[in-house]
Chain A
Amino acid sequence: MNTSRSASLTLSGRFAALRLSGVPLIPMAILAALVLIALFADVLAPHDPEVGSLGDRFQPPAWLAGGSDKHLLGTDHLGRDVLSRLILGARVSVVVGFTAVIVAGILGTGLGILAGYLGGWVDQVIMRITDTWLALPALTFAIFLAAIVGPSEMNIVIILGAVYWTRYARVIRGEVLSIKERDFVRLAVVAGCSKRTIMRRHVLPNVVNSAVVLATLMLGVVIVTEAALSFLGVGVPPPKPAWGLMLADGKKGLMAGYWWLTVLPGACIMLMVLAANLLGDWLRVKLDPQLRQL
């Protein structure tokens, strides 16, 4: 069962072994589709997502009375095509979500390994900072940082990375503490490997599994946080189409009952988060039995 934990197996080998047992096809397909949509968003979008004509504002989706084939999913308060904005919005969520998860992952995994392997004062400093940052409510912390650095897609990635690395550091440090006591690490020490080499060649490959599981589980959290920030006006700046921003705009038509402006972007967020959570749950059980309790 635990062959995946030995240091010799390559990453691709590990994922090849995974393929044998029931991959959750639906979440994989949803995520793959979203990534593809994000990649080819420019080609797929029927209209310019940032330009609309005020004469076409608040048009319902095509299948409702008053809708037209020109705008399949209707238009928003500025007459912009909802379908095009959803498609381009996928790009924002995919790009921000994946990069933020990776930034947080690299930072947290690196610091977690340092803290766990070096121990002593390094461990104390890193873990005290981790604990303190974990005490800050994530969304509030993110809003605070956004208020300081101002809104842009790049800043959102940095903010989300800064807020969420602590989740990785905690778990990875715990793993490293037990890996440190294993024979192959002791042998490496005896063989005269430097601390750097041991951390990079012997410890890191053994925590990659957990980092991947955590990253998948974090993806949903990060996407919801980005949407919340955009919704509050401190995330992706308008007129760029982000799903959270679309929800904020959708509020303008809510009381008039223009449901498509609220239901559709939220459904997209939910779909992506749901897919990420399902995949994360499955990966957790598959890759890392120790994390099952998480």
Chain B
Amino acid sequence: MRRYVARRLGYALLSLFLLSLTIFLFVRATGDPAVLLVEPGASKDDLEMIRTQLGLDRPLWVQYGSFIGNLLRGDFGHSFYYRTGVLELYLSRLPNSLLLATAAMAFSLLVGIPTGILAAVRVNGWWDGVGKIFALLGLSMPSFWVGLIMILFFSVYLGWLPSSGSGSALHLIMPAVALGWYFAASHMRLTRSSMLEVLGAEYVKLARLKGLPEALVIAKHAFKNALIPVLTLAGINLVIMVNVAVVVETVFAWPGIGRLLYEGVAFRDFPVVQATVLLGGVMIVIVNLFVDVLYAVIDPRIRYER
């Protein structure tokens, strides 16, 4: 077990290294990174200052060393627009993103799990057909379009919900649905296939043979086991939601990380863009590590693999 965890940890560290290297090299690949990292409209002296600060005359690996050194000290650069450290800015927006992602996750599970179960129980019935169409639409409609259409209906025509901003539960509804929409479809698909697998298992057959009513078989024996892969995916998806909410947050002016990234692009605030990508990658690497280890704890077979 310890060896397994150590190896996974090694992979994760390697990933983080490659991640930082990728970002570092891309920024330098286009020629002069000073142009990206200095305020638009900065003077020649400012440019020169940034160049010496970055040490662009030094060899690449020295530059990379100081880049990593800064990151490890929590120095992700300075935002031109907000005039504060980028990390501070990021952390101040993170709670909003997490709130939105949690609400979107709740929506996607509330929709995805019941429909997935219904589709599996009545496999190839009309419910299954409706479910398939729903899943297909969910995967094909861009989340930001869903958001815009909702604004049109619920804000403009009906006037029920605020079209943008944050601060109340009402503000949360539309962004959460728009963001959760796609994930509802994928959770539905997984619930259905996982449920089908479990329903074919021996212990479910036994439960049926001993005469339990079908509802009880499904609720008590099948449902719980079918839920495991869905919840694992949901855990990973929560982190992904935080990082893909850019467009939805922009549509609804929701003050999360995605909106921060958009502002970074719109105001040519490059340090913000760079930090958002880096931290997004770091978050996902860590979650993957966590899931790998968790799997090994649950299932001893994985520990002895390879």
Contact B152 A257 (CB under 8 A): yes
The smallest beta-carbon distance between B166 and chain A, in angstroms, is 18
A133 within 8 A of B: yes
Contact A232 B280 (CB under 8 A): no
A279 to B11, CA, bound (A): 37
B255 within 8 A of A: no
> Contacting chain B: which of A14-22, A51-59, A143-151, A181-189?
A143-151
A269 to B149, CA, bound (A): 14
The smallest beta-carbon distance between B29 and chain A, in angstroms, is 8
Contact A132 B266 (CB under 8 A): no
The smallest beta-carbon distance between B79 and chain A, in angstroms, is 14
The 8 Å CB contact of A228, one of B246, B276, B277, is B246
Contact B157 A251 (CB under 8 A): no
Contact residues on A (Cβ < 8 Å of other chain), bracket:
35 or more
Mask for B250-289, Cβ within 8 A of A = 1, else 0? 1100000000011011101010011011001100110010
Contact residues on B (Cβ < 8 Å of other chain), bracket:
35 or more
A140 within 8 A of B: yes
A139 within 8 A of B: yes
Chain B residues 78 to 101 lying within 8 A of chain A, measured CB to CB, are none
The smallest beta-carbon distance between A154 and chain B, in angstroms, is 14
Main secondary structure on A side of the interface with B: helix
The 8 Å CB contact of B284, one of A137, A274, A277, is A137
Contact B277 A234 (CB under 8 A): no
Contact A139 B247 (CB under 8 A): yes
Mask for A15-32, Cβ within 8 A of B = 1, else 0? 000000000000000000
The 8 Å CB contact of B142, one of A141, A145, A227, is A227
Query: Contacts A143-B273, A148-B27, A266-B148 known; A257 to B156 CB distance under 8 Å?
Result: yes
Binding site for B on A (CB under 8 A): 128-129, 131-133, 135-141, 143-149, 220, 224, 227-228, 231-234, 247, 250-251, 254-257, 259, 262-263, 266, 269-270, 273-274, 277-278
Binding site for A on B (CB under 8 A): 11, 14-15, 18-19, 22-23, 26-27, 29-30, 36, 136-137, 139-142, 144-145, 148-149, 151-152, 155-157, 163, 240, 243-244, 246-247, 250-251, 261-262, 264-266, 268, 270, 273-274, 276-277, 280-281, 284-285, 288
